[in-house]
Structure 1
Amino acid sequence: MNKEELLQLMHPMKLIGLSGNPALNEKIATILKKPLIETAVQHFSDGEIQVNIGESVRGCDVFVIQSIQDPVNENFMELEIVLDALHRASAHRINVVVPYLAYSRSDTKTRSREPITAKLVANLLQITGLDHLIALDLHASQIQGFYNVPVDHLHAMPLLAQYFLDNGIATKEEDDIVVVSPDHSGAKLARNFGQFFDAPIAIVDQRRERYDTDVHDMIGDVKDKKCIIVDDLIDTGSRISSSTKSVLAAGAKKVYVAATHALLSQNALETLNELPIEQIVVTDTIKHSHYPDRMVRISVDLLLARGINYVYNDRSMHLLSESDLK
């Protein structure tokens, strides 16, 4: 009997998929060849949530998959209640997998009497109890330090970059590719993304007090270039809109967008559909019923499934970063 077989015998892996993104949950379970535990989630008329886990998890290593997306507070509370249920059911180890972790943008205090909600979320999850967190493209990497349990921070940007390479949109041989950050804080992300194409970066000089301005100054040369605007998420689409208008005003010939999380709140669909963008490439961390016309969705199912498998078998995530996820 090898180590993996012994582990399955002593502490079997079990998966729970919650309401945030059922389609992604099913994809991950299919790759791992593990059925999702039947979990009954009932919402009462007053908003209260009741959860019933349909089978024994005593002594098991349980992975709870929940994308904390709209409705954010409802999905977060659902996760909290399941964690409490797992503790009371004597699970051996409780692992939380969050394709999208809400409140990550509130990671620092910038003015008086302002909360750091990302830290509050970390406190609440740890009070309820979890042994391990697997997250994907957190808004700020330092959020890992808010947790006193192991955090594996996975990245989808290599998958997005590979799409541009596979489809001939960008290659290392081209010299007309520029990766654009929509503001100064995203420069590091743009630089990392640009390394896949050996491309320079440019920055939209966009400041908070001027978010509503259509066109901003550019730092860097985008004239007659093919621009890829890269960000960790797309919310209302306003930042992508002003960035697109800025690079076009500076002489860019084509504009593409790459982002991990497509929140698409408020009038994002209409805003993005009106822009002269060639393609918007995102992942499937968040589910919606409708998407913008030129949006391409890349699945992170294999990335998350392998992350779960590596955690369960105590393998180094460094090996995952070097593995082929195509």
Structure 2
Amino acid sequence: MPAITEPKLISGNANRSLANAIARRMSMHRGMSVGLVNARVERFNDQEIFVEVYENVRGEDMFIIQPTSNPANDNLMELLIIADALRRSSASRITAVIPYFGYARQDRRTKARTPISAKLVANLIVEAGIERVLTMDLHATQIQGFFDIPVDNLYAAPVFALDIEHHFKSQLGNVMVVSPDVGGVGRARELAKRINAPLSIVDKRREKAGEVAEMTVIGNVEGMSCIIVDDICDTAGTLCKAADLLMEHGAKEVHAYITHGVLSGPAVERISKSVMKSLVITDSIEPSAAVKAAPNIRIVPTAPMFAQAILNIWNGTSVSSLFETETLVPIYEGMYTPG
């Protein structure tokens, strides 16, 4: 049944740039102004979060745009408190648009006496009154099963495939997709299939979290333009080591396509000094000034995809249609032209 009210967007402080871009894109699609609901999300002196919504949202279909990126705890609490404010203001439905889902790396118990924090966060989101979640490239797809509400997980691979076909147009036959670990093979295989490229794997062994003891290349990368594909780049240590290893094995050049550029600590400096020719990330996390200034980091916009996904949810139409190239090319309006 078609929706009667217009979709309404509200944003926390995590990524206002993306929220505004989504609103602009929706305005273009709707042929009318779609703005962010007027609200304030502030902190008291003791850093408690306070939310006040200045517009009437009774009976409205609300979409909260808030990645739970660094500072993860603050941004998560903003999301929950905004949801509570909307629920108590009689919004008809509340959807959380979480471009980057924090705590997703804690999706199972790897040792005794450790938490499954992703499940705890899922419980908090549902208890806050959120009825649907829209996210992108969950670190572990089984996290969808932690929720008892619908979860739409978008994928960056279709957009990355368009970007690769555009920027590597003259050398597509010489491109090899590389997974930086065995666990990411599924993600890399999906992209390789889309651009009709071979697949290689960097097998790594960790002594402890954040430290890689040994790395091995599975597959012949000699003379190839290697594209490393992953969902998260945090400190970039593993990524830069993988790039070095590929070059040592005869790769012509190395690029990386990473969905979520966490890029904490020394990450930007490492990437700037790396043998990698380019790192492509999305704007799921608000890029810092250092990230924007880095000469070999490029940012692919996600607003067109999220805006269309929100409209599809509001209309009650398919979100999975956004996994298809034919759907994405017109959404990205001239950014990528078919090869």
The two structures share one fold, judged by TM-score above 0.5: yes
1:214-225 matches, cutoff 5 A? 216-225=215-224
TM-score, normalised to structure 1, is 0.94
CA shift for structure 1 position 189? 0.9
Residue in structure 1 matched with residue 185 of structure 2 by the alignment: 187
Alpha-carbon displacement from aligned partner over 1:286-314 (angstroms, at most 9, x marks no partner): 11222132011010001000000000000
The answer to which of 210-219 and 89-98 deviates more is 210-219
CA contact (8 A) 1:69 1:286 kept: yes
- Hey, what's the Cα distance between the residues in 1 that align with 2:22 and 2:110? 38
**Which residue among 9, 19, 24 is the counterpart of 2:18?**
24
1:113-128 matches, cutoff 5 A? 113-128=113-128
CA contact (8 A) 2:99 2:284 kept: yes
TM-score, normalised to structure 2, is 0.90
For 2:260, what is the secondary structure of its paired residue? strand
- Hey, what's the Cα distance between the residues in 2 that align with 1:29 and 1:218? 43
For 1:296, what is the secondary structure of its paired residue? strand
1:169-318 matches, cutoff 5 A? 172=172, 174=173, 176-209=174-207, 212-213=211-212, 216-287=215-286, 288-291=288-291, 292-318=294-320
Q: Structure 1 pair 204/286, CA: closer, same or farther in 2 (3 Å)?
A: same
Q: Structure 1 pair 170/267, CA: closer, same or farther in 2 (3 Å)?
A: farther
CA contact (8 A) 2:7 2:311 kept: no
- Hey, what's the Cα distance between the residues in 2 that align with 1:169 and 1:76? 40
- Hey, what's the Cα distance between the residues in 1 that align with 2:25 and 2:230? 28
For 1:276, what is the secondary structure of its paired residue? coil
Q: Structure 1 pair 39/246, CA: closer, same or farther in 2 (3 Å)?
A: same
Alpha-carbon displacement from aligned partner over 1:220-266 (angstroms, at most 9, x marks no partner): 11111110011001100011011111111111110000011101101
Identity of aligned residues (%): 37
- Hey, what's the Cα distance between the residues in 2 that align with 1:170 and 1:282? 22
CA contact (8 A) 2:233 2:263 kept: yes
Q: How many residues are matched?
A: 318
Alpha-carbon displacement from aligned partner over 1:118-167 (angstroms, at most 9, x marks no partner): 11100010111111110111101111111100111111121112111112
CA contact (8 A) 1:215 1:245 kept: no
Runs of 4+ in 1 over 3 A off after TM superposition: 169-172, 210-215
Residue in structure 2 matched with residue 66 of structure 1 by the alignment: 66
- Hey, what's the Cα distance between the residues in 2 that align with 1:32 and 1:104? 28
Amino acid at match of 1:139: H
Structure 1 segments unaligned to the other structure (5+ residues): none
Please give the root-mean-square deviation of Cα atoms over the aligned residues, in Å: 1.6
Q: Structure 1 pair 27/280, CA: closer, same or farther in 2 (3 Å)?
A: same
Alpha-carbon displacement from aligned partner over 1:29-85 (angstroms, at most 9, x marks no partner): 111121101111121121101100111110111011001111110011011111111
CA contact (8 A) 1:215 1:246 kept: no
- Hey, what's the Cα distance between the residues in 2 that align with 1:27 and 1:318? 22
- Hey, what's the Cα distance between the residues in 1 that align with 2:190 and 2:254? 19
For 1:205, what is the secondary structure of its paired residue? strand
Amino acid at match of 1:241: C
